[in-house]
Each structure stands twice: as structure tokens, then as C-alpha cells.
Structure 1
Amino acid sequence: MIAVGIALAVLGALCFATAAEMQHNAVRTVGAGGLQLRRAGLLARDPTWLSGLLALAAGAGLHTLALAFAPLAVAQPIGVLALVASVLLAACRQRRTIRGGELSALALTVAGVTGFVLLAMPAAGTMPDVDGGTVLRACVVIAVLVTALVPLGRSGRRIGRCLAFATAAAACYALVSVLTRIATVQLRTGGWSWDLLGSAAGVVLAAALGGWLIQHAYAGGSPDLVLACLTVGDPVVAVGVGMTVLGEAVPAGAIPAAAQAVCAAVAVTGVAVLAAHRSTDTLLEDDHRTGAWLRPQ
């Protein structure tokens, strides 16, 4: 059953990459001057942005199903493959081949994620014990992160603004994954309850907030840079909350734990290199189109 969850998570990552390309292009065109309410209304009528929204919803649905079959430690890191797909889409859009540095970064990312998932699978057999207090603790942890990051995004300049909003969005999406995992456990162990409804409501609110924050991130930086923050921040936060708040199992023994840490570091290195290659290209494209670097709003 874990293999089904992995397959669903991979499909979800492809949908997220497609959504990032579509929504970034729409936001940079319609919302280049900031995402005030008037521009938000224009986005809501933009076919490209709406298509991206459908792709985002499909990705979220597939990822939710993945969490019903696999724990956070397995399903979440697979989201990093969205960045790989984004590079492939960008190369097709620009009608060019993938550069050597990008290929090296892709290899690091895929190898790191594959190793991380394989090492996490042996520890994925048991379900955590959850209750209403578990939901509250998870929400408090994420609320603290978002509250700290949003002011940085509002006052930041250029790429710093993008990084802060994208990381805050990653924390919200991590909460979506954590609450989804909690809800699936609640449904399997206790059926329908008020705690389950509370988890479902939290999923909707966190997804909506994360979606709005990510639009601000798209207005300030490239889709690759945004996805880099999401694909690193989302799994790191979600797996961390899963281990500390949900009590999900970790690889037993010092050697497996160290190997998993090395794999995570390899994946993060690949993401960083990949984002550096692609974010520079996209910023240069924006500079050519607008005649100026990204301006603070």
C-alpha cells in the first residue's frame, strides 16, 4: 500500500509543477504591481491562472490520497520532484536543452529523495495515536512559523520577499499534510467525530492561506525559487511535526538515521543548485520584459 502512496505523491508533484508554471506566468503579468484586491479579481478571470488553480487542486487531491496510504516521512519528500518537473517544463517553454549544471542538480535531487524514501519505509508500519490536542499542537507550531515569516515578506525586498512568503506557504502546506495524515488516522481508528471535522476544517483553512501566500511569492520571484522553498520547507516541517507531534516512527539505529540525514542533505543540495540555475534565468527574463529588477511593493 505504501507503493500506491508513493505513486500518487509523484503524480501530485507533477501537477504542482504545472500549477507553478501557469500561476507564476499569470501573476507576473496581471499582478506585477502587487496583489491588491483589484488585481486578485483580474487573476480570478485569467484562464492561465485558473488552469493553474485546477492543476494545484489536482495535485492537492493526489497528495491527500497519498497520505492515506503512506506516512508523512515517505509521502512528503517526494514533493521535491516538482522542482525537477518545473525545470523540464521551463526548458520546453524556452525551447532549449537542459544544461549540465541542471542535470547534475537533478541527479542529486532524485538520488537524495529516493534514498530518503527507501530508508523511511521500514519505519512506516505503525499508525500514530492522535486526538484533538494533537491537532491543536500542530496548528500552534505552524502558526508561530507563519506569524514570524509574513512580516519579513511584507518588509522584504526582491528575492527576500519571495523567500519569506514561499517559506510561509510551505509551512501552511506542511500543516495541510499533517492534518490530512491526522484525519486519515482518526477516520480509520474512530470513524466520524468532531475531532475529525476539526482536522478537515484546518486543512481547508491552511490550504487557502498557503495558496494566497504563494501568489505573493510568485509576484516576487521565479517559479523555481518558489518551488525550491516549498519542496524543501514543506517536507522538512511536515516530517518534523510528524515525528515530534504525531510521534511517527523514525529509522531505528544510528546508521540508518545518519544515512537518511545524508540523503536529505544531498536532496537539499540538489534543490539549491537547481534553484540557483533557474531563478537567475527567470529574473533575467523578467528584467528584459519589465525593464527593471523586481521592485518591492
Structure 2
Amino acid sequence: MHDNLLAVGFALIAALVIAWGTVVRHRIAAHQPDNGDSPIVAAAKRPLWWFALLTALSGYGFQVLALGFGTLLIVQPVLALTLMFTFPMTAFYEKRRLTMDEIIGGALLTVSVATLVILGKPVPFHGKVTFHDWLPAIIVTAIVMGIIYAASIRMSAPYRGLSLGVITGITYGFVAVLSKAAVNVFNHGGLLILLTAWEFYALIACAVLGTIIQQYAFNVGALRLSLPAMTTLEPVVAFILSYAVLGEKFQVHGWNWAIMGIALVTMILSTFALSARGNA
């Protein structure tokens, strides 16, 4: 059943839950002692990290519910509000007030997301998306990520964190689109067909890979470099793939495209500015 209101509602819950899990994992990474363990092993020794990870997974469950009711072009902008929710939570943990930059950035992000959702009125593609439709995007992305990772090996720690943040953002962009693809498979064929679909296993692989790379990015360099990259690139990659691969479209004509373009750029820039501001 296609219901944009339910999609937005579940996406908002997902953004709120994911924000809390992200704030907790950031705090663990920031206060992690240097005892020689790898970032993943050190984090896994903290029970709170597992609780935060389970919280993030429950948030992902709400994201899947949202995708069951609406297009990725609706759900993904709403999920960008995750960043806005992290600021009140971080301020609460740090016992401080929100700054004017955080308030203005959050307001711009909210307005841009509302514009994309309300004015855009995205519609799904009702045809069948095959593996051959995915193949060009997979090949190009694998080459780009390979080049970035190879270059990061020779970089100093802060810029290596930036490179890993870029890879994380691209990977999570694929996770978002594969999630929608898997939901589509389930809606049309049921659980048995989903368990035999390549999209389901590609989704699991990308989610695991993204979690590992993200934890390395959090630990290898300053969060002010890695977090803006991953939070900005995820919606950009998801938007591109939802159009190019899934065939979703905005119902926009004429000069309204200019408004949509301004809203999209505002969402990207405010996301980058907020994530950089929050980890300066």
C-alpha cells in the first residue's frame, strides 16, 4: 500500500532512533582508550556499543517500514533529519545549550526536507528492475571506492578518516537503495522470494561493510572530517541511484524544478555544515 503520510511518520521515528544510536557510538569512539585493539574489537568490548548498535538496527527496521509505504525519494530526505536530532541529544549529554548555528542549520535542513517531500510528491516505478539495471552503477562505484581506498593508505590519519567517511557514505547510499529494492521484492513475491533474491544478500553485505568502515572512520581521524563526508554522500548517492536504477520520479514541472534544486542543495550544504559544526 502506497501511503506517503505513513512513510514520513515511520521515517521520522527511524531518524530519531538512529540519531540516539549514532550519538552513543560517537561518544564511545571519542573516549576509547588506545590499548592496541582494532577499532571494531575495542568497541565490541563495550556493552553500551552493542546496545547502541541494536538501537540503530531497530531504527533501520522503522526505515524499512517507511520504505514499504513510500518511495526512497520521500524516505531518504526525512532520514537526513537524523543529523538534526543528534544536536539536542549531544547538547543534553554535554550539558550545554544549542548554539545559534545549530538552530539555524537545523531549520534550513527541516525546510529543505519539507520542500522535497511536499513539492516533489515522488512516485514509484512500477516496472521490474533487473540486475543488468544495477550493473553499471555497481561497476562504477566499485572502481571509485577502490581508488579512494588505495589513495587513503598513503594519507595521514585525519585525511584517511575523510576518505573512509566518503566510502562509508557511498556504501550507506547503496544500503538505502538496496533496502528499497528488497522491500519491493518482498511486496511482490513474499518472504520466500526475498530469501532467494540477490538484493537481500547484497543489502546484508553492504550493511556489514558500512558498519565496519564507519567504525574505522570514527577512530582513525577527526570526526569533523569523516562524519560530514558520510552524512552528505549517503543521500546524494541514494538520490542518484533511486532515479537511475529504481526509476523513481518527482512530480515536478516548470519552474518548480528550480525550487527543488535549491532545496536539494540546501539539504546537502546544511547537512555538511551541521555535521562539520558538531564535530569541530
Same fold (TM over 0.5): yes
* Cα distance, 1:245–1:86 mapped onto 2, change above 3 Å: same
Question: Could you say what the CA RMSD is over the residues aligned between the two structures, in angstroms?
Answer: 2.5
TM-score w.r.t. the length of structure 1 is 0.83
2:109/2:266 contact within 8 Å kept: yes
How many residues align? The count is: 277
2:120/2:252 contact within 8 Å kept: no
Please list every run of at least 4 consecutive aligned residues from structure 1 whose deviation after the TM superposition is greater than 4 angstroms: 31-35, 221-227
How many angstroms does 1:155 deviate by? 3.1
- Partners in 2 of 1:143 and 1:229 — Cα distance? 18
The AA in structure 2 aligned to 1:214 is Q
Matches within 5 A, 1:111-122: 111-121=111-121
Structure-2 residue corresponding to 1:176:
175
Task: Answer with 226-235 or 241-250: which moved more.
Answer: 226-235
Structure-2 residue corresponding to 1:127:
126
Structure-2 residue corresponding to 1:162:
161
- Partners in 1 of 2:274 and 2:155 — Cα distance? 23
1:128/1:246 contact within 8 Å kept: no
How many angstroms does 1:269 deviate by? 2.6
**1:181-221 alpha-carbon deviations (Å, 9 max, x no partner):** 12222333345548952110000000000001110121145
**1:17-40 alpha-carbon deviations (Å, 9 max, x no partner):** 21222112223333657863xx53
Structure 1 residues not aligned, in runs of 5+: 281-297
3-state SS, counterpart of residue 250 of structure 2: coil
How many angstroms does 1:73 deviate by? 0.9
* Cα distance, 1:16–1:181 mapped onto 2, change above 3 Å: same
- Partners in 2 of 1:35 and 1:254 — Cα distance? 56
2:112/2:266 contact within 8 Å kept: yes
The AA in structure 2 aligned to 1:168 is I
The AA in structure 2 aligned to 1:244 is A
Q: Is it true that 1:238 corresponds to 2:250 in the alignment?
A: no
Structure-2 residue corresponding to 1:188:
187
Structure 2 residues not aligned, in runs of 5+: none
Task: Answer with 219-228 or 70-79: which moved more.
Answer: 219-228
The AA in structure 1 aligned to 2:80 is V
Paired-residue identity, %: 23
Structure-2 residue corresponding to 1:90:
90
1:162/1:220 contact within 8 Å kept: yes
* Cα distance, 1:213–1:43 mapped onto 2, change above 3 Å: same
1:8/1:63 contact within 8 Å kept: yes
3-state SS, counterpart of residue 30 of structure 1: coil
How many angstroms does 1:41 deviate by? 2.6
Structure-2 residue corresponding to 1:140:
139
- Partners in 1 of 2:151 and 2:36 — Cα distance? 16
2:113/2:267 contact within 8 Å kept: yes
- Partners in 1 of 2:214 and 2:76 — Cα distance? 18
TM-score w.r.t. the length of structure 2 is 0.88
1:102/1:274 contact within 8 Å kept: yes
- Partners in 2 of 1:63 and 1:35 — Cα distance? 33
